[in-house]
Amino acid sequence: MRILGIDCGSERTGYGVIDSDGRSHRLRAAGVIRTSTKAPLAERLLTIAGGLREVIAAEAPEAAAVEAVFHAANTQTALKLAHVRGVALLVLAEAGLTVGEYSPLEIKTSVVGYGRAEKEQVQLMVGSLLQLKEIVKSQDASDALAAAICHANQVRYREAVRV
């Protein structure tokens, strides 16, 4: 299964695409959609939507994973994140993709085995699970790949429980 993971952010939205059979995962693509902090929010959202549409067109994922809303100390940050998530979910729905939404705790537990893992630990484990020679340098892209891996693990688990 080809899975697109998305790490939403109004300045940097990370994406990562993997191929997975539920046990082993292979990197297809990873990167960051960057926006200008000086641009109005509407323009930034348009840039993010366009970037996600390009990734979907290029990689043809079958499913997607997005980090669920979490509580942020800064209300403005949380609101911007919610807008970006809304745009991401809309683009994924337009593409007809099934979407898994996972909390940061679920993603980190799935990838690292510890829900309070630091971003550097996530980067290292993503590199290990994808058998990369070097870690993915962008934490945003690495977090997106972690979401995709989490989704692959959840799909495998659900299929095993059904049997």
**21 catalytic residue (yes or no):** no
**140 catalytic residue (yes or no):** yes
| Token pair for 98 | 């099934």
Q: From the candidates 7, 21, 94, 143, give the one annotated as an active-site residue.
A: 7
Q: From the candidates 62, 134, 140, 159, give the one annotated as an active-site residue.
A: 140
Q: What is the 3-state secondary structure (H, E, C) of the chain?
A: CEEEEEECCCCEEEEEEEEECCCCEEEEEEEEEECCCCCCHHHHHHHHHHHHHHHHHHHCCCEEEEECCCCCCCHHHHHHHHHHHHHHHHHHHHCCCEEEEECHHHHHHHHCCCCCCCHHHHHHHHHHHCCCCCCCCCHHHHHHHHHHHHHHHHHHHHHHHHC
Q: From the candidates 21, 67, 94, 120, give the one annotated as an active-site residue.
A: 67
Residue positions annotated with a catalytic role: 7, 67, 140
